[in-house]
Amino acid sequence: MLMPGSNKLWPELSLEEMVGQLLMIGFEGKKPPPEVARFLVEGKAGGVILLARNFGDAREAAELVLSLQKLATTRPSGLPLLIAIDQEGGPVVRLRQGITLFPGNMAVSATGNPEYAFQAAAAVASELRALGINMNLAPVVDVNNNPCNPVIGVRSFGEDPKMVAELGIQAIKGYQSRGIAAVAKHFPGHGDTTVDSHQGMPRIGHPLSRLEEVELVPFRAAINAGVAGIMTTHCSFPAVDSAPNRPATLSPAVLTGLLREKLGFDGVLLTDCLEMRGVAEVYGPEQAAVLAVQAGADLALLTHSFDKQLTAHRLLVEAVRSGLLPYARLEAAVQRVVRLKQRLFAEGVPTGGQKKGVGESPDQVDQAENQSLAQQIAAAALTLVKNEEGLLPLKLAPEEEIYLLSFHHQGLTLAEEGAGSDSRLSQALKKRHHRTRERVLSLSPTAETIERVLGELRASRPGLVLIATEDAGLAQGQVTLVKEIAATGLPLVVVALRTPYELALFPEVKTFVAAYSFQPVTLEALAGLLWGEFLPTGKLPVSIPGLYPAGYGRSRF
């Protein structure tokens, strides 16, 4: 194996170092604690996953990446690290400052323009690569055909497997065209669940024929497109593996039989975090690392506890020495990881010198251009589903008030790592109509809160009530609030900042816009749409049960 940028062979790896290549770890704080630093110096981890807890902005991220690579390459046999991040766009982004934030997959799909999937991924990849990050745990290629899915939703391109496959291919090509390893997730599919695998183990009971027709379609496409990595899901699939309570992540039948042998994938296979409850509560993260590698995984993710990382490394070494983990399986996994590193580090390893930041890479990343692209996508995605009373575009007199209701939270799922909406929509509205008042409520307001809001509305009689919902179908208080306000007869516009499914729960609402995102570019575009600054062009990527099919959307007010 050639050292990138030289004609020297990498020195032989010890067993401990070989096992280390199979672990991707995370840590708390903006620099690795001493024990983690030592772990990296000793070659006991092949990769690091970065989360929002690890930096405040892009500059800090770049500095951290350089320091991590210095640690990993200290030893003569030290291989550089895979540095991964979940920068999906939409609700799941780890880096939020000093980088362009794009709407997520469902918004991209709503534009009807597959080129946007490529362009957005390429833009994100250019900015990540400028920071030294070399792997993005994206795109999500789950087919979201269950309106009650609590964890995928707008992270998916939609409900049509062929459309998800097409956009997934474009995203993969976009990331990898800029030197970032793309990782399609979550194999064999997390779209048709009602359980979040962070909290438990979903069971997807469809027969193999249905999996072939729906869930597996985007993964086949990703493999054919040359995706660098695939991430597993902690869901069980009894049609593929009859063992009770065995998630795909730990299943030889799923990882080796289905993915490797049947679908022909020979890239790097990563687990989702093994400290998630979907695995941890049944098997324990440390033992799960051994089981996952036995099953066919090449990289086991343990993103939180150093003690668990240390134990997982020890158990993997012991498993090889005892024969429980065949040496050939270890060697095959290491070869895949190293092969990917050779590709990513063909021009050398960034371990010192200039501390690169966004806009300072050799590619001269143009954030202004990327921001313009994000704005285009956000505007093109907005979908006018209902406008039965002709409220849009808004025609308020200067003295009339907009009463904006929004919902405060710190992320709806653990996948979002504390991300939530802010007051950007209120600010964007005020630029266009000074008399805008915002009331921020809890994610699922109580009956008492709803009654107080109704009292305020009866007293003030605003010219417009605007409710910016966030997956109201998963928060009954939001549904109740919308229905109660609709019953007052006040002019009402409901905007879904996440999935549009919730309209089925309050079909009496006569004006409804699907936005698919709460990123700042979306909120700014939304305010423009409400005031008629451009026509709506977005189309629904998913069906609204009992009301509208996928592909529906009004093209004029």
Active-site residue 307, yes or no? no
How far apart are the C-alpha atoms of 406 and 497, rounded to whole Å? Answer: 10
Which secondary structure element, helix H or strand E, spans residue 186, and what is its range? strand 181-187
Please check the confidence at residue 4 and state whether its pLDDT lies above 50: no
Please check the confidence at residue 520 and state whether its pLDDT lies above 50: yes
For residue 528, what pLDDT is reported?
97
For residue 417, what pLDDT is reported?
64
**Buried/exposed code over 434-463 (b: 16+ C-beta within 10 A; e: otherwise):** ebbebeebebbbeeeebeebbeebeeeebb
Question: Tokens 């009859």 correspond to what residue?
Answer: 242
Please check the confidence at residue 355 and state whether its pLDDT lies above 80: no
CATH architecture of the domain 382-530 equals 3-Layer(aba) Sandwich (3.40)
Give the range among 139-143, 201-205, 212-216 with minimum mean pLDDT.
201-205
How far apart are the C-alpha atoms of 222 and 266, rounded to whole Å? Answer: 12
pLDDT in tens, 404-423: 999 976 556 666 765 555 67
How far apart are the C-alpha atoms of 21 and 38, rounded to whole Å? Answer: 15
| Cα angle for residues 225, 231, 234 (degrees, 5° grid) | 140
Which DSSP symbol is given to 88?
A: E
| Cα angle for residues 76, 81, 83 (degrees, 5° grid) | 165
Backbone angles phi, psi at 533, to 5 degrees: -75, -15
Helices (H) and strands (E) in the chain, counts: 18, 16
The ranges assigned to domains in the chain are 17-344, 382-530
Backbone angles phi, psi at 207, to 5 degrees: -70, 165
pLDDT in tens, 207-251: 999 999 999 999 999 999 999 999 999 998 999 998 888 999 999
pLDDT in tens, 270-296: 999 999 877 877 888 999 999 999 999
For residue 195, what pLDDT is reported?
67
Percent of the chain residues past pLDDT 90, beyond the cut: 82
Tokens representing residue 28 in the block: 């708390």
For residue 359, what pLDDT is reported?
39
How far apart are the C-alpha atoms of 218 and 188, rounded to whole Å? Answer: 10
**Does residue 407 contact residue 468 with C-beta atoms inside 8 Å?**
yes
How far apart are the C-alpha atoms of 545 and 469, rounded to whole Å? Answer: 18
pLDDT in tens, 37-74: 999 999 999 999 999 999 999 999 999 999 999 999 98
pLDDT average, residue stretch 521-533: 97
**Does residue 133 contact residue 178 with C-beta atoms inside 8 Å?**
no
Tokens representing residue 447 in the block: 């009956």
Q: Are strands 87-89 and 92-93 parallel, antiparallel or unpaired?
A: antiparallel
For residue 360, which of 66, 136, 115 has the smallest C-alpha distance? 66
Catalytic member of 196, 241, 272, 471: 272
Active-site residue 272, yes or no? yes
Question: Residues 524, 530, 533, 538: what is their CA dihedral angle, to the nearest 10 degrees?
Answer: 80
pLDDT in tens, 432-469: 999 999 999 999 999 999 999 999 999 999 999 999 99
Q: What is the pTM of this model?
A: 0.93
For residue 202, what pLDDT is reported?
82
| Cα angle for residues 129, 229, 190 (degrees, 5° grid) | 115
Could you tell me the sign of the dihedral formed by the alpha carbons of 237, 243, 248, 252, in that order? Answer: negative
Question: Tokens 């809890």 correspond to what residue?
Answer: 442
As beta bridge partners, residue 494 has 467, 512
How far apart are the C-alpha atoms of 39 and 306, rounded to whole Å? Answer: 9
DSSP one-letter string for 360-414: -STT---HHHHHHHHHHHHHHH-EEEEETT---S----TT--EEEEEEE-S-SSG
**Does residue 193 contact residue 153 with C-beta atoms inside 8 Å?**
no
* Class level of CATH domain 17-344: alpha beta
How far apart are the C-alpha atoms of 283 and 280, rounded to whole Å? Answer: 5
User: What is the C-alpha end-to-end distance of the chain, expressed in Å?
Assistant: 61
Catalytic member of 57, 198, 366, 409: 198
Mean pLDDT over the full length of the chain: 91
Tokens representing residue 430 in the block: 């005020």
Query: Side chain identity at 256, as an amino acid letter?
Result: T
Residue 291: alpha-carbon gap to chain centroid? 25
For residue 350, what pLDDT is reported?
63
